[in-house]
Structure 1
Amino acid sequence: MKKPLLSVLTLMMLVALLAACGGNNNKPAEATNAPANNATNETSANNEGGAESDISGTVTFLTNRTDMIDKEYVDYAKRFKEKYPNAEVKFEAVTDLDKTTKIRIASGEFPDVVLIPTIPNSELPQYFAPLDDIGLNDRIYFKDFKGHDGKVYGISAGASTTGIVYNKKAFADAGITEIPTTLDAFYAAAEKLKAKGIVPLASNFKDQWTLYPWASEVATSIAGNANLNNERKDTDAPFAMDNAYGQAMTIIRTMYEKGYLEPDVNSTNWEQSKKDIASGKFAMYMLGNWVIPQVADSGTTSDNVGFFPLPYDNSGKTNVALAPDWAYGVNKNSKNLATAKAFVKWMVEDSGFDDFAGFIPVLKDKEPKVPQLSEFNSFNPTYIEAVADDAAATDIVNKAQITKEAMVQEFVLSKDPQSILDKYNESWAKARKAVAK
């Protein structure tokens, strides 16, 4: 998250890909030894069609997909071994991926392949091996997102946009005949759902991580500015009621105040909420397209799940954030470096994880298999493509120990939301001053 904006040409290609999406739905995140001759293995691993027998040893992948352990990952391990008979992959899953991975890499002891946490791109060479030699650079989007000094250190597992995932039958049962395209119409639809006994929006408030859009993607969309988060480095008070951050968080605060969230937001459950959306007990999520297959797999059919841009104002026009998901990174000190790189390449090209997870594929020549993206694009949103995080902004965030989802929680529940913004601005200003020294 720390490099320049992708080229206009790349953006046009990606938007064209989105517009063309369709097909079948093949089904969140905020998830190690045996010696080898790395010089020999690296050569063979990175020559497509090279000697697969040179890829050997065991590698471990640290993931946030706890739901795939003992299920899909078993198949992945089997299929990877079929391609590389002398190699083996193991999977370790954690729930608090970003925090856990930061701790692990800081200790110097972390698995062969991880999903790169939120550290400055300038620090990537300290921990990760360059991936320029595995033959994917010219075939993927977001190549520079996890790069430094012209080298690629991370490759995204896929891309996603954020919007309202909804149960079509729940909308119909509540008498909602048109998808809302203004904020007032969105609140009106929520009121109809509430009157019908349907929880309008599943926030998963207690789990915290699910609140990320309200402090990032929605704010970026309102501002129409991909550099919104980076530009915080230039001010001591980035958070205000009347700017994009305050406006975004005010929407979910309003949903809470009007009773449009779960009856008890402090006792929510992520896994159960997917079943409740599928059954129509809950009507909507404000999350990325990656959750669509998970909802469909939780007790409904894909054609009962819809997807539309959040109307954050009454203009009838919307911007939407387009961003890469977690990026695969390879431990530079892996004892089986070539095998770890081969696994990353296999995950991108062969695993099918992007389809399973409901992602927009990171491979430029692969069409997404999430049909709901066609509905989403029918509202003609303007895509705001993510840029890499500025190192200075990241340093301030880390120094201030700001968790954006926690800020959303406090803002929603406080009797005085301005006081919450003041608190976070104070922390930001102190951290900004400290980092500048």
Structure 2
Amino acid sequence: MKKSLSLLLTAAVSITMLSACGNNDDAKNTANNAKTGNNGTTTEAADPASEISGTITFLTNRTDMIDKEYVDYAKRFKEKYPNAEVKFEAVKDVDKDTKIRLSTGDFPDVVLVPTITASDLPKYFAPLDDLGLNDKIYFKDYKSFEGKVYGISVGATTTGIVYNKKAFADAGITSVPKTLDEFYAAAEKLKAKGIIPFASNFKDQWPLYPWGSELPSSLAGNANLNNERVNSDAPYTMDNAYGQALTIIRTMNEKGYLEPDINSTNWEQSKKDVASGKFAMYFLGNWVIPQVISSGTTSENVGFFPMPYDNSGKVNVVLAPDWGYGVNKNSKHLETAKAFVKWMLEDSGFDKFAGFIPVLKDRQSDMPQLAEFESFNPTKIEAVTDTPESTEIVNQAQITKEAFVQEFVLSKDPQSILDKYNDKWAKAKKAVSK
């Protein structure tokens, strides 16, 4: 389904809050009825301030915010809920780490929901429908099962080229490339000027995700591309969207447009290098823009445009939810954990800090880089949730798309890598169908 990015930037929906108060028996009965609802289900009024107490922990992927912004978040959350405290724990590979913790049954109160099948969501997470946000957010079905919401996206993203404008100007690049040939030509000019064209963060692996998912979907113009793999025993070919996307980054490496030593890259340092102009570009989501700016440059020096993956002059981009907040169903302080999720969405300001398109429909992004991105009139494709069957095959095959990208780029025979992953896919597909 296609939806304009501008819709996300301008939509407005009023948010109302239910409350119950009073100090007599009738008022108490009213509050109790509001808490359980006429049908026995929990409603938004289930969060009276008195129930928001205890200490909870949030497991996050934002290692850069520990001892910094999260200190302020903890202070502000406690100001709203004096009887509650929140602690933050950060890990680099949040998907892998969270899956391991889920398997043990011992995981923090609030996490970013990992890539598990939708049917497994109720095993680990509490429904969030009682937060009163279901009709006020985008991607409501993102982490849901049988009509219940188990995860709410921290924000919306689109993927493109984040670039240092001064580096472009110093290399004599007078206009943003709109075709793949122009993109390669710009990279060649940067290289000739002594500027490293592209920061891939190859060694850290996870920053390679757009090449294995978002870009293939854009190339195919199909949000369901990853799900439709279940219809084939050999979904990866050189001439389809997967092979074409992987070939672009392989070509960039062959031409010397990536880091001089791709096996010794460093994520945190790369943000400083893009900010300083030592590196010129990233291919990542809009979420990285504020991180580049805070690493040593100005907002005016950072631009954002769609990745030109062919020479047509037209481009599709995927509009997608980021990680989703999930609450441990066995949390000792369940209401506090839920209140924290709502606070993060409504009060923290994290979406603006992180450069996200707000997931709340009544919020607007004021990032000039998103306005620049929109000026290229890309066709937006709204991401869809991975189907249980697709997720099950991926997990059975133990396919990590970023590792797939690494192998394809470094192999002397890229077709052999496609064959390897097709074989893994076919065997897993057969196994899960039994």
Q: How high is the TM-score relative to the length of structure 2?
A: 0.92
Q: Which has the larger radius of gyration?
A: 2
Q: How does 1:136-215 map to 2 (within 5 A)?
A: 136-215=133-212
Selected match of 1:307 from 304, 307, 317: 304
Letter in 2 for 1:184: D
Secondary structure, counterpart of 1:89 in structure 2 = strand
**Counterpart position of 1:385:** 382
Moved more, 87-96 or 318-327: 87-96
The match for 2:331 is 334
1:160-216 CA-to-partner distances (Å, cap 9, x unmatched) read 000000000000000000100000000000000000000001001111101110010
- Within-5 A mapping of 1:283-322: 283-322=280-319
Is 1:428 the equivalent of 2:425?
A: yes
- Distance in 2 (CA, whole Å) between partners of 1:69 and 1:202 is 24
- Tell me, what secondary structure is at the counterpart of 1:328? strand
After TM superposition, the runs of 4+ consecutive aligned structure 1 residues lying more than 4 A away are none
CA deviations over 1:108-134 (Å, ceiling 9, x no partner): 111111000000011101111100001
Runs of 5+ consecutive residues of structure 2 not aligned to the other structure: 13-30, 37-41
2:96 is matched with 99
- Give the 3 Å change call, closer, same or farther, for CA 19–412 of structure 1 in structure 2: farther
Residue matched to 2:19: none
Shift of residue 46, structure 1, vs aligned partner: 5.5
Q: Is the 8 A contact 2:35 2:45 kept in 1?
A: no
- String of CA shifts for 1:293-331, please: whole Å, max 9, x gaps: 000011100110000000000000000011000000011
State the shift of 1:55 in Å: 1.1
Match of 1:270 among 267, 283, 287: 267
> Is structure 2 residue 340 aligned with structure 1 residue 349?
no
Q: Residue 20 of structure 1: CA displacement? A: 8.9
Question: Please, which of 357, 361, 368 is the counterpart of residue 364 of structure 1?
Answer: 361
Partner of residue 27, structure 1 = none
CA shift digits 1:322-367 (9 cap, x unpaired): 1000000011111111111100000000001101100000000100
CA contact (8 A) 2:217 2:225 kept: yes
Does the Cα contact within 8 Å between 1:237 and 1:428 map onto a contact in 2?
A: yes
**Mapped contact 2:47–2:335 kept (Cα < 8 A):** no
Answer whether contact 1:112 1:330 (CA < 8 A) is retained.
yes
Aligned-partner Cα distance in 2 for 1:412–1:406: 10
Q: CA deviation at 1:106?
A: 1.2
Q: CA deviation at 1:16?
A: 2.1
Whether contact under 8 Å (2:11, 2:362) holds in the other structure is no
Which residue in the other structure is 2:111 paired with?
114
In structure 1, stretches of 5+ residues that fail to align are: 22-38
Identity %: 77
Q: Report how many aligned residue pairs link the two structures.
A: 410
CA distance in 2, matches of 1:110, 1:49: 24
Q: CA RMSD in A?
A: 1.8
Contact 2:47–2:339 under 8 Å retained in 1:
no
Mapped partners of 1:200, 1:355: distance in 2: 28
Cα displacement (A) at 1:408: 0.5
Task: Give the conservation status (yes or no) of the 8 Å contact 2:319–2:383.
Answer: yes
1:233 paired residue number: 230
Which of residues 8, 15, 21 is equivalent to 1:17? 8
- Separation (CA, whole Å) in 2 of partners of 1:192 and 1:394: 42
User: Quick check: 2:204–2:266 contact (8 Å CA) kept in 1?
Assistant: yes
**Does the 8 A contact of 1:163 with 1:308 survive in 2?**
yes
